[in-house]
């Protein structure tokens, strides 16, 4: 599903703001002609990019750079960059499937352990690892921070961070990460996640259970019974079907 993100964002951006489509496409074509180093410089903002600032779009730069699949240059730039530039560099690496990127993501995902909200570079690094079912990354995304993002604080989800969190919810189910089930149940009625993401993961964790129920309340109650069964009840199947 990750591949849909660039397409949707690009379509909306190009459709809404390009008053002269030909001029916009001409300027976008210039981005594809830039060197890797020029593209890395462009991530800093329009004033650092040799394209018309009126048509500068950072995601054009990110996707062009990611398509070239030269993570070594991006990683080298990260080591010299400030925090804001690092955010864009890691976002670019997020689109590149490469063992070198995985090693790098692992090196930065947990370098600043804290109890607050994971955001910026750490979100992309953690999600990159979670997509590969890394238990430490899944655990980190499942802690209280997950509740703040997916359940309690929709305002935290904005811009390119949103698909990363949607990816995390998908990974909980695909990786059969049972400890996330409680948070997924709480997220069934969340307005911050794409419709059905939490339920889809719950169905993967509890295959065949609660799927016949229609109302959201019934589904939540069904999954809660699976998570907190009555000790007197040995057979849960009647509760869950």
Contact 122, 86 (CB under 8 A): no
pLDDT of residue 212: 84
Please write the tens of the pLDDT for every residue from 183-215. 888 888 776 666 588 899 999 999 999 988 888
Would you tell me how many other CB atoms lie within 10 Å of the CB of residue 40? 24
pLDDT of residue 237: 43
pLDDT of residue 4: 46
139 closest CA partner among 131, 147, 130, 148: 130
pLDDT of residue 5: 46
93 closest CA partner among 126, 116, 48, 50: 126
> By three-state DSSP, how is residue 133 classified?
coil
* Residuewise pLDDT in 10s, the chain (241 residues): 454 444 444 444 444 444 566 666 776 788 899 999 999 999 999 999 998 888 888 999 999 999 999 999 999 999 999 888 998 999 999 999 999 999 999 999 887 666 655 666 788 898 899 999 999 999 988 875 565 555 444 544 455 555 666 778 889 999 999 999 988 888 887 766 665 888 999 999 999 999 888 888 899 899 999 998 766 655 444 333 3
Contact 95, 62 (CB under 8 A): yes
- State the number of CA atoms in the 13 A half-sphere of 126 facing the CB: 30
- Is residue 110 classed exposed, middle or buried when 0-12, 13-18 and 19+ CB atoms within 10 A define those classes? middle
Contact 177, 171 (CB under 8 A): yes
């Amino acid at each position: 599903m990750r591949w849909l993100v660039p397409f949707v964002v690009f379509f909306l951006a190009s459709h809404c703001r390009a008053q002269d489509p030909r001029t916009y496409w001409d300027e976008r074509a210039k981005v594809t002609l830039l060197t890797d180093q020029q593209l890395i410089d462009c991530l800093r903002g329009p004033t650092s990019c040799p394209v018309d600032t009126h048509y500068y779009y950072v995601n054009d730069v990110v996707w062009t750079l990611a398509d070239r699949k030269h993570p070594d240059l991006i990683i080298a730039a990260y080591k010299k960059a400030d925090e804001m530039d690092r955010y864009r560099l890691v976002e670019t690496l997020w689109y590149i499937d490469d063992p070198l990127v995985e090693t790098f993501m692992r090196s930065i995902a947990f370098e600043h352990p804290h109890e607050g909200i994971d955001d910026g570079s750490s979100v992309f690094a953690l999600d990159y690892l979670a997509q590969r079912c890394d238990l430490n990354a899944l655990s980190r995304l499942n802690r209280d921070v997950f509740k703040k993002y997916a359940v309690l604080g929709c305002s935290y989800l904005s811009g390119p961070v949103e698909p990363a969190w949607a990816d995390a919810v998908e990974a909980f189910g695909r990786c059969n990460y049972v400890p996330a089930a409680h948070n997924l149940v709480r997220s069934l009625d969340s307005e911050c996640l794409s419709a059905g993401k939490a339920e889809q993961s719950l169905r993967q964790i509890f295959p065949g259970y609660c799927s016949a129920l229609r109302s959201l309340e019934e589904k939540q109650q069904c999954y809660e019974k699976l998570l907190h069964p009555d000790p007197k009840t040995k057979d849960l199947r009647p509760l869950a079907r």
